[in-house]
Amino acid sequence: MKSFFVLFVCIIFYACSPVRTRYPVVPITQDSNTEKKDKESKKIIEEEPITQQKKDILLNDPLETETNFESKYEYSDYLSDIFNSALEKFDRKEFKNACADFKLLMNTLEKGDSLQLEASFFYAECLIEFNDYSVAEILLNDLRNIDNKPESISEKVLVRLGQLYCILNANERAFLIFEEFNQKYPNSIYKPLAKCN
């Protein structure tokens, strides 16, 4: 019984740990040479071969279900491993593979789950990397409107949405988002990023 309690406490500690929020929001900068960036993004897409697993994911084949595991904790660890692997791919700029994993988690996990929200945020980051601003805007606004989400996600979503509006030259909308951010989170570590320049 004692070992079960220790295992339970460790899992809760891991699930609530700041590992998921260890990556600060990177500011979007308006590139004067967006054509070059578009070509580089397309080059990355063309160079990375897509595996059958990724094809299945993109076609919405279901992820292994919880019933394939001996316990909920094993399943939770499995999903956390996918998320952490996707973060590593994202850091290495392997966006296509990272995005497939984030999308998979976003569509597999229960809506409102903290890991699902993090995966959704990083999927929006991927969309921004591939200059798919309209879908990223929709996803970030959806995340913004979810009630009872962790503050860390709410902060990042508001900053990134404001930055996205800056890129789209929607400065009034950006100003309103940044104003909302500054009112809700006056002491945030992301405060220096909450501006258009």
Contacts of 177 (CB under 8 A, 6+ apart): 158, 161, 162, 165
**Is 146 part of any domain?**
no
Q: Is 174 exposed, middle or buried (0-12, 13-18, 19+ CB in 10 A)?
A: buried
Q: Which of 28, 20, 34 is nearest to 160 (CA)?
A: 28
**Is 194 part of any domain?**
no
Residue tagged 């569509």 (tokens): 107
**Is 142 part of any domain?**
no
Q: Domain range spanning residue 100?
A: 34-56+63-116
Do the Cβ atoms of 139 and 127 come closer than 8 Å? yes
**Is 171 part of any domain?**
no
Whole-prediction pTM: 0.67
For the chain, the 3-state helix, strand and coil shares in percent, each to the nearest 5, are 70, 0, 30
Determine the Cα–Cα distance for residues 3 and 6; give it in Å rounded to an integer. 5
Determine the Cα–Cα distance for residues 111 and 117; give it in Å rounded to an integer. 8
Do the Cβ atoms of 115 and 69 come closer than 8 Å? no
Contacts of 148 (CB under 8 A, 6+ apart): 112
Do the Cβ atoms of 158 and 25 come closer than 8 Å? no
**Is 73 part of any domain?**
yes
Determine the Cα–Cα distance for residues 110 and 167; give it in Å rounded to an integer. 31
Residue tagged 């697993």 (tokens): 53
Determine the Cα–Cα distance for residues 19 and 9; give it in Å rounded to an integer. 16
3-class DSSP state for residue 93?
coil
Sites in the chain below the pLDDT cut of 50: 1-27, 30, 32-34, 37-50, 54-62
**Is 82 part of any domain?**
yes
pLDDT tens column, 5-53:
434 434 444 444 444 444 444 445 545 444 554 444 444 444 444 455 5
**Is 189 part of any domain?**
no
Quick one: tokens of 194? 């909450």
Determine the Cα–Cα distance for residues 190 and 160; give it in Å rounded to an integer. 10
**Is 47 part of any domain?**
yes
Into how many domains does the chain fold?
Answer: 1
